[in-house]
Structure 1
């Protein structure tokens, strides 16, 4: 999303509403950057960026407190004449009467938080970062497989939800079924589920299951970071499938490349167990150990040793 509506930010953040402007439903925030307008309180506006969330921390608050009432009014009047989206007062400081009066005059929303300025800025940056992050929705299942975020994809009816249910019974956690909302947060991909269908799982022949109620809160997770993609596809007779794992697949989502494993599905295969092993194997690769490469190295070493032994016998 290119912007965040101020009303949505207020709904997400646990902040006291001191004054709500009439156009709060229309005010948009386009950046994750936060400003502390200390220089503006001192009268310097040359490099002022007014479209950011503005926070009055302890330094700014005490600076304004020590001003005479008339000067404080003039200072805040000029500040609020700029198109600032919202002013947040940190540390539960008292809101100056002049600030409240001028907020009504200029139509600016005033919020207040009880946290320190740095913690408040951190919370706002995280919230705005998630809301403004590039987003993509994919059809699939998202699971936390013993600490590995696995996105399971495949055509409809291939068995993604059944595999997820089997993984849940093995101790894994459901993040999303059917629709996975993916956000790029810096260099990571964060997967979650639309709130409307969160923790519900559809099993053909059974119907809709509420996993949280059936298996408890330990069987679900609100979000997870995607470490790998597993694609399920119907087994095709005659098709060559990777048996060694030396040729690693990858898939790109929102500009980030992820390792991918393609698992052919046919009756008799325990797909959940294979997905679990694939996740654990992926973790080993991330830690620097690749079983396929290790076996290939041993085989090559064995062949080389045999070749040397043969050459030595030939010389004799």
Structure 2
């Protein structure tokens, strides 16, 4: 499910300041879409979306300066509906007094910024799209390893939290333990974050719940991370087929986004933290064009050709 976002949240996370309506900042924001009410300034409201934040920049305020008092009052009353979250004014511009009066009457906050309309539009859309996106809860651990978000999954009791703790001790950062809330940032990127009740906390069997922030410092945690790949810990079985060359990448799908998936067999004596670190380094190397499996295959082909020549 998506988060509940208010105008106060928007104010806290973007370059906006309050012009008026400080008592009305608890108004909900229901959509990431932002309106530029250019047509509405001319009185055309056939397809108006009042549930959106209304952004007024140089074009809208310049047009308003040419309008009469009665025209401004008519447009303002139609624009500011009960479900309109807020008015935002960009580029250091000022709203007409008629708009300010109606905003106060309808209890809609007015926010302002010195940023251009394009810049504040991008900032607000980025924040709202992430916050309002549908969340999917995934049972696992998310750790930032060398700047890569690694989603560690596996059966209960396989050692996910213990491995994450060792990774934290080795200088990496915990995002979420036990449950990860995942949402699609766009068509290609997944972002993971902890549920509010579990933020910075980790459960260790036999020890209990620990606060990673207090025990290891602020550098040991992160609030969210883009997920690079899923590493699944599987209990070792003698009849299990194991990928030995590294060319058996699988894909799992979360929120409609394909995510690379690797299976790591868990067996007594295997140092999982070191193996996961190596997997993260190898994943990054492949993204940079360095593929050890391809190098091995090329070397093998050269060796086969040489042996064939000697036999001839």
Q: Is the TM value for this pair above 0.5? A: yes
Query: Cα offset for 1:188?
Result: 0.2
Deviation readout 1:210-262 (Å, 9 max, x if unpaired): 11111111111111111111111211123221212222222221222222121
Partner of 2:282: 281
Shifted more, 84-93 versus 266-275: the winner is: 84-93
Q: 2: CA distance between counterparts of 1:301 and 1:253? A: 40
Matches within 5 A, 1:71-220: 71-80=71-80, 84-91=84-91, 93-103=93-103, 107=106, 109-116=108-115, 117-186=117-186, 187-220=188-221
Partner of 1:314: none
Query: Cα offset for 1:124?
Result: 1.5
Q: 1:183 to 1:164 in 2, by over 3 A?
A: same
Q: 2: CA distance between counterparts of 1:147 and 1:28? A: 32
Runs (5+) with no aligned partner, structure 2 = none
Q: 1: CA distance between counterparts of 2:246 and 2:20? A: 60
Shifted more, 240-249 versus 15-24: the winner is: 15-24
Tell me if the contact between 1:84 and 1:108 (Cα under 8 Å) persists in the aligned partners.
Answer: no
Q: 1:8 to 1:85 in 2, by over 3 A?
A: closer
Partner of 2:9: 11
Query: Cα offset for 1:100?
Result: 3.7
Secondary structure, aligned partner of 2:139: strand
Query: Cα offset for 1:12?
Result: 3.8
Aligned length: 306
Secondary structure, aligned partner of 2:6: helix
Tell me if the contact between 1:92 and 1:112 (Cα under 8 Å) persists in the aligned partners.
Answer: no
Q: 1: CA distance between counterparts of 2:10 and 2:156? A: 34
Q: 1:169 to 1:93 in 2, by over 3 A?
A: same
Tell me if the contact between 1:64 and 1:72 (Cα under 8 Å) persists in the aligned partners.
Answer: yes
1:232 counterpart = 2:233: yes
Partner of 1:259: 260
Runs (5+) with no aligned partner, structure 1 = 312-316
1:64 counterpart = 2:85: no
Q: 1:88 to 1:179 in 2, by over 3 A?
A: same
What CA RMSD, in Å, does the superposition of the two structures yield over aligned residues? 2.7
Query: Cα offset for 1:305?
Result: 1.6
Shifted more, 209-218 versus 170-179: the winner is: 209-218
Deviation readout 1:194-214 (Å, 9 max, x if unpaired): 122111111112222211111
Query: Cα offset for 1:56?
Result: 2.0
Query: Cα offset for 1:192?
Result: 0.8
Name which one, 1 or 2, has greater alpha-carbon Rg.
1
Superposition TM-score, scaled by structure 2 size: 0.87
Superposition TM-score, scaled by structure 1 size: 0.86
Q: 2: CA distance between counterparts of 1:123 and 1:22? A: 22
Q: 2: CA distance between counterparts of 1:110 and 1:66? A: 24
